[in-house]
Structure 1
């Protein structure tokens, strides 16, 4: 998805993933439940169409909706992922140390999802968790870790190499690391990603974010 400073908690606002036993995989749904789909669609509306002054309250209401969807299917990796995304986005709006509890719960959600099905939602949990690791402060304030972020983001790309979110967050991470050329390549790939049926608003919003970030990266490269 977008904590107090843009770097501390600009946060992911939109992505998904996870890992499991053969028995669990056999019983996992291959499509989103109506409740989880409703959370996904509402997330896009709040994240991209809700005015800034109303956004935190809207996300807090969505936290409750996402928790209810997850409670209905506690072993559904997609429900865990989307609850984690909503928690992360809410933390991004709240900002500061008060957001740390939310991102810690989001991390737990993504880890649980990975333990159930690492391929859920095209491996987005890797991307979502990786984004947390580079956006959250490191010890002693938080759990941020750039090495873990790189590993997880690369796994997200392996699972979904053409995905808009996987490439966007990897590009943002590389920019954060000072790899401007790599960031430009990843962001260009994000902008060329195929559309996701039923996710037109999320795609439009993410493309806009990628375009803005790519322009900043290109400006930096041109000044070198």
Structure 2
């Protein structure tokens, strides 16, 4: 009976902390969508720099929450993409460290988003000796993300991107269509709108490639 009461108390104590973590993460998600989809150029870079600092505060407050590390990693990797060049490599490495830490804490957190994000990093970052990019690791991570979240917009979109980079256009189209039909995330309308625009652009690219291959008589 005492053990039951103690476990109930622990549950009551942990609920507000969990709610606080998710509210902080939701704030980061909202800010990221605004920066990623409504800003460009220097304004976007400066906003990402500020957002990294905000994410640092969240991680400092909740160091044992996988969700805080995932979103700092996503913000760092997005900042790296906006920054470009060799100067972005340190940000990509920081993102990799955050995502790996998130996996150690809870690899299924946020529907396996750590796998999606780390897989995309492995796919986009240059390989040795410049960076840590690795297409084989990218494929493993992105497929793992799909096993955790088979109908997700991001898990399907980023695996499709990997397939496009690998010139596997027919398969890429399949996953882009799955991403297009993914359930809406009611708390993330701006992110969904931006991602759907990226999906449509990628579909046009894939269908253009497939049309050219068919015209040239190339078969798979």
Q: TM-score range by the shorter chain?
A: 0.7 to 0.9
Maintained 8 Å contact 2:24/2:58: yes
Deviation at 1:32, TM superposition (A): 4.3
Higher-Rg structure is: 2
1:33 alignment partner, SS class: helix
Residues 127-185 of structure 1 deviation map (CA, whole Å, 9 limit, x = unaligned): 00000000000000000000000000000000000000000000000010111111111
1:140 to 129, 137, 140: 129
- The aligned counterpart of 1:113 is 102
Tell whether 2:138 aligns with 1:131: no
2:166 to 172, 177, 181: 177
Q: 1:181 to 1:140 in 2, by over 3 A?
A: same
- The aligned counterpart of 2:49 is 60
Query: Mind listing any 5+ residue stretches in structure 2 that lack a counterpart?
Result: 1-13, 214-220
State the alpha-carbon separation in 2 of the partners of residues 129 and 181 from structure 1: 24
TM-score, normalisation: structure 2: 0.87
Tell whether 2:132 aligns with 1:149: no
State the alpha-carbon separation in 2 of the partners of residues 57 and 104 from structure 1: 19
Query: Mind listing any 5+ residue stretches in structure 1 that lack a counterpart?
Result: 1-26
Maintained 8 Å contact 2:21/2:62: no
Q: 1:96 to 1:51 in 2, by over 3 A?
A: closer
- The aligned counterpart of 1:6 is none
Tell whether 2:181 aligns with 1:218: no
State the alpha-carbon separation in 2 of the partners of residues 199 and 220 from structure 1: 31
State the alpha-carbon separation in 1 of the partners of residues 40 and 161 from structure 2: 24
State the alpha-carbon separation in 1 of the partners of residues 193 and 151 from structure 2: 16
- The aligned counterpart of 2:197 is 208
Q: Which has the higher helix share?
A: 2
State the alpha-carbon separation in 2 of the partners of residues 112 and 100 from structure 1: 18
Deviation at 1:40, TM superposition (A): 1.0
- The aligned counterpart of 2:93 is 104
Deviation at 1:37, TM superposition (A): 1.5
Tell whether 2:11 aligns with 1:43: no
- Structure scoring higher RCO (CA < 8 A, sep ≥ 6) equals 1
TM-score, normalisation: structure 1: 0.86
Deviation at 1:52, TM superposition (A): 3.0
- The aligned counterpart of 1:197 is 186
